[in-house]
Structure 1
């Protein structure tokens, strides 16, 4: 239809065609088909550019006739109007449309926005506004204030669907060119946000009849809108107007965070996340060192709130703010490290927090968390090695190091179970496999003997991560060396399979010192490798040095374990060592 350029080239009455398309929107055809129908109707509007007022009236009348009980039909009808405007703009035929016709569009949209209470219908209405703002800015400028009012009205309401929150944020952000001509309006709006948020928090403290859950959700939504507008107007040319406001804002938020200490409700986490975003945006406007220190202090105070779950805060915090806060929470001076001495429930909460931060969703957050976790794991293992090999045994420091190690390994299991994630595979340096295999004592006897619980946990994570990637056999340099061009280097995982075989060989040679369950884990891993390869691959790797060493170690292990058990007198000679190891094992194996 777009190739026809004008309606005169269409061998069909456009009203009849439009009516048939609209009738399809009220049927039970699948959503993808309905979206395609809306695009066809939008293309019809493109052909009617010279008579666009007639098309607008046709769409508006159809929207009025649609049932209020089924907002999906009205949504699709209005989406076709947004599609037509986008087609007109993309094809650069705005000149075919008289400006009054676009003014009619905005008048109709504002009338719909004034009466609409459906989140579903709101989306295409805002899409129409965005299209007009992009392709007919002179017309949209007249309606800028009204559209912002409608958008903010939806944006500051709590418990909105995610689609509405994202669309309102996009709307306010994409209107950036218009905000620059209305900076005083922006400041006035942000001041209103601050006043409203302060009023809700003050009411919570002074009026016991106020429902904390509702007031906190409203406060979080208002602060979310404040962050969006402040981010939009943060440009050099706006500094003279914005900076004085931000200087007052920073102090206000700091005082508001202090008020939260007296409020106990689960929704506090949402408000804290929004306040952290406000502080972060304020630092972008006025990057003062003293403000940074004050912001860190405020966030630490807020996160120490007894009703706050760290996971809730990170779920609601913007990505830009999350990465710096990760350092504050689980970094070397992190707020959670003292919790390792807590109850089983507290430790499980720590594991959940670490696991959430290590989820490969946002790369900056994952990288920051991974760096902190790697540093902490290496430090804990170093402490354990010093105690195992040193002359004096520090029971307290060893216990803490073991708990830290077990918390981290339990959390890393979540990341280790991820498969086919480019973020998890390519975004981490070193990779998870390299860290666990090369930077830990996974096959060292002192670790196996003295810390059997930690060793089992480490081996479990390494095995699971490797098996999720089929032990990296397909990417092995052994299988690809014949087909690889001389000028190409090996892939980052080319040597992983060989390293796995080396590690298994070392473990099999010391499996007498392992827990029974740990040895079974090793044997199961070997079994999975042997029976996970087809005949061709097995033939290719069978005579490799690493495979031969692993097979030899496996045979020796079987021979050792098939010999008669040691006599009681032999066992008595090492009773003290066995008892100590058993006690250590029961203490470590809490996960």
Structure 2
């Protein structure tokens, strides 16, 4: 009966758009709070909270005097380990719904989170003392488990309140919580996680801890400083138990690492990339996880690392990715690359051929973040080999063995190369083939050969025996787009003087005679686009004749 009464009252407040219930709002909110405090039924608590949240949205001013008491009650439900999991989740959502009140009284939130931290330390110390007893009995073990459970619940409610506080929880000007307090909270939580995890490890502890630490890392940003060492101690100990961890736990750890890489890039230690992506890193094994969720989380970690603006660290992770790519590419295709050196720390880690395709795909997906970033100046000059040289030269996309045996791999390489070059306008303005005042001296030394490399590669690909139609189609479209971009930029005269373009246009014209009707039609349309872009009067007579023959042959058929 109480549940139906609360539902009716909630509906009345929901429909009260004119706020006609304002005269009784104070009394109703007071009674709802008292009812929530005396509640011992989870189902009635749910109905009570739902009604309370609806009423306070209509009458926030009337709720203000009841804010702190309501928070205390919700915190009690949140940290009660005897309640079903959904009760804690409901309490967490309810605390976050009070954001406007948290913002108005940030000092209360700071005081509350500080109390949570003190309680965590107290329970952790209690657990250590109990667990270190010479011969702990069953009762002692039970007390240890209770302390561990209370720490987990305290970390959960700490995160809920921190999220509810929003920007007011961070060390922004005019707020109560400063940089030292954020760092202190992080260190305490890491210490509690280590103390509990070494004695009573649980996946729930790790997932809860990662969520709290990720939030603090986001707040601290580049001021994380030396505390990254504390974080990595926790991560290392968790990953040491890799085989026994649930997928959800692995995802949580990867997300924490991603957060650290994205928000604290300038304060990361020099050896971190080797620890995360080197030959001994447990993360590398997760690339082959049967869980798509885990693989996606690991890939996001690689993306964050390859998005670093810290050049030495970026070069380190790039080197590790290339070493992995070399090993898996060689194992899959039998085609050697020039991606590793004698002193490469991960060289020689060749995977089984059965794993090769999955690992090659993963490495290319990881590089996609770097290759597809338009403003990545770092990617143009700091990486060796450059993205263009890696994809167009080192991975041998024009090797006929690759086309015959692994056409999908070749297509992935060419597609990624196309994406990278499109983002940089096919490197027309910095090419040595374009000897104009438009060239950018700062970039020309590292990118000056790119256009010639691309023209030569496209020509060789189009002259090879037909393989995967999607790859041939991409090469034809790419050629037309490149020439049209050159015309739009005023580079037609310079481009027409290059032997690379003459060879490429000839290859496109040859494709118009393909027995594959859709491909020949596409090649003919590409020839038409080339003629239009280059200009009828500017194209040499032999080249003009070839292109015209390709266009008319398609029409005759």
TM category (shorter chain) comes to 0.5 to 0.7
TM-score (norm. length: structure 2): 0.53
Name the structure 2 match of 1:332.
273
Q: For 1:355 and 1:275, locate their aligned partners in 2 and report how far apart those are by CA, in whole Å.
A: 21
State whether structure 2 residue 446 is matched by structure 1 residue 461: no
State whether structure 2 residue 181 is matched by structure 1 residue 224: no
Would you say the 8 A contact 1:277–1:321 is kept in 2?
Answer: yes
Would you say the 8 A contact 1:216–1:271 is kept in 2?
Answer: no
Q: CA deviation at 1:508?
A: 4.5
Cα deviations by residue, 1:167-203 (Å, 9 ceiling, x for unpaired): 2351364432235257655544543355456667877
Q: For 1:172 and 1:440, locate their aligned partners in 2 and report how far apart those are by CA, in whole Å.
A: 54
Map 1:575-586 → 2, pairs under 5 A:
none
Q: For 2:214 and 2:240, locate their aligned partners in 1 and report how far apart those are by CA, in whole Å.
A: 17
Unmatched runs of 5 consecutive residues or more in structure 2: 328-335, 427-451, 493-500, 516-557
Specify which of 411, 422, 437 is matched with residue 362 of structure 2. Answer: 411
Task: Mark the CA change 1:289 to 1:322 in structure 2 (over 3 Å): closer, same or farther.
Answer: closer
Task: Mark the CA change 1:202 to 1:365 in structure 2 (over 3 Å): closer, same or farther.
Answer: farther
State whether structure 2 residue 198 is matched by structure 1 residue 261: yes
Would you say the 8 A contact 2:214–2:256 is kept in 1?
Answer: yes
SS in 1 for 2:317: helix
Q: For 1:259 and 1:211, locate their aligned partners in 2 and report how far apart those are by CA, in whole Å.
A: 13
Name the structure 1 match of 2:550.
none
Would you say the 8 A contact 1:442–1:459 is kept in 2?
Answer: no
Q: For 2:326 and 2:234, locate their aligned partners in 1 and report how far apart those are by CA, in whole Å.
A: 35
Would you say the 8 A contact 1:82–1:124 is kept in 2?
Answer: no
Q: For 1:379 and 1:365, locate their aligned partners in 2 and report how far apart those are by CA, in whole Å.
A: 11
Unmatched runs of 5 consecutive residues or more in structure 1: 1-60, 67-73, 477-497, 513-518, 559-591
Name whichever of 396-405 and 302-311 sits farther off. 396-405
Would you say the 8 A contact 2:303–2:366 is kept in 1?
Answer: no
Name the structure 1 match of 2:332.
none
SS in 2 for 1:270: helix
Name the structure 2 match of 1:104.
28
Q: For 1:150 and 1:275, locate their aligned partners in 2 and report how far apart those are by CA, in whole Å.
A: 22
SS in 1 for 2:348: helix
Task: Mark the CA change 1:115 to 1:346 in structure 2 (over 3 Å): closer, same or farther.
Answer: closer
Name the structure 2 match of 1:178.
105
TM-score (norm. length: structure 1): 0.51
Q: For 2:459 and 2:393, locate their aligned partners in 1 and report how far apart those are by CA, in whole Å.
A: 12
Over the aligned positions, Cα root-mean-square deviation in angstroms equals: 6.6
State whether structure 2 residue 92 is matched by structure 1 residue 145: no
Map 1:436-451 → 2, pairs under 5 A:
438-444=387-393, 447=396
Map 1:184-223 → 2, pairs under 5 A:
184=111, 187-196=114-123, 219-223=151-155
Specify which of 288, 291, 294 is matched with residue 348 of structure 1. Answer: 288
Specify which of 442, 456, 467 is matched with residue 520 of structure 1. Answer: 467
Task: Mark the CA change 1:112 to 1:411 in structure 2 (over 3 Å): closer, same or farther.
Answer: same
Q: CA deviation at 1:97?
A: 3.5
Q: For 1:343 and 1:365, locate their aligned partners in 2 and report how far apart those are by CA, in whole Å.
A: 10
Name the structure 1 match of 2:496.
none
Map 1:238-257 → 2, pairs under 5 A:
239=176, 247=184, 250-251=187-188, 253-254=190-191, 256-257=193-194
Q: CA deviation at 1:337?
A: 1.9
Name the structure 2 match of 1:507.
461
Q: For 2:256 and 2:394, locate their aligned partners in 1 and report how far apart those are by CA, in whole Å.
A: 44
SS in 1 for 2:467: helix
Specify which of 86, 90, 104 is matched with residue 160 of structure 1. Answer: 86
SS in 2 for 1:142: helix
Task: Mark the CA change 1:401 to 1:554 in structure 2 (over 3 Å): closer, same or farther.
Answer: farther
Task: Mark the CA change 1:461 to 1:129 in structure 2 (over 3 Å): closer, same or farther.
Answer: farther
Map 1:19-58 → 2, pairs under 5 A:
none
Q: CA deviation at 1:147?
A: 0.9
Map 1:69-108 → 2, pairs under 5 A:
74=7, 78=10, 81-82=13-14, 84=16, 87=17, 97-98=22-23, 101-108=25-32
SS in 1 for 2:460: helix
Task: Mark the CA change 1:339 to 1:243 in structure 2 (over 3 Å): closer, same or farther.
Answer: closer
Q: CA deviation at 1:78?
A: 1.9
State whether structure 2 residue 34 is matched by structure 1 residue 64: no
Q: CA deviation at 1:336?
A: 4.3
Would you say the 8 A contact 1:314–1:322 is kept in 2?
Answer: no
Map 1:342-491 → 2, pairs under 5 A:
348-349=288-289, 355-359=296-300, 367-368=304-305, 370-371=307-308, 376-377=317-318, 381=322, 398-400=347-349, 409-411=360-362, 429=376, 438-444=387-393, 447=396, 459-462=410-413
Q: CA deviation at 1:160?
A: 2.9
State whether structure 2 residue 46 is matched by structure 1 residue 131: no
Task: Mark the CA change 1:548 to 1:248 in structure 2 (over 3 Å): closer, same or farther.
Answer: closer
Would you say the 8 A contact 1:328–1:334 is kept in 2?
Answer: no
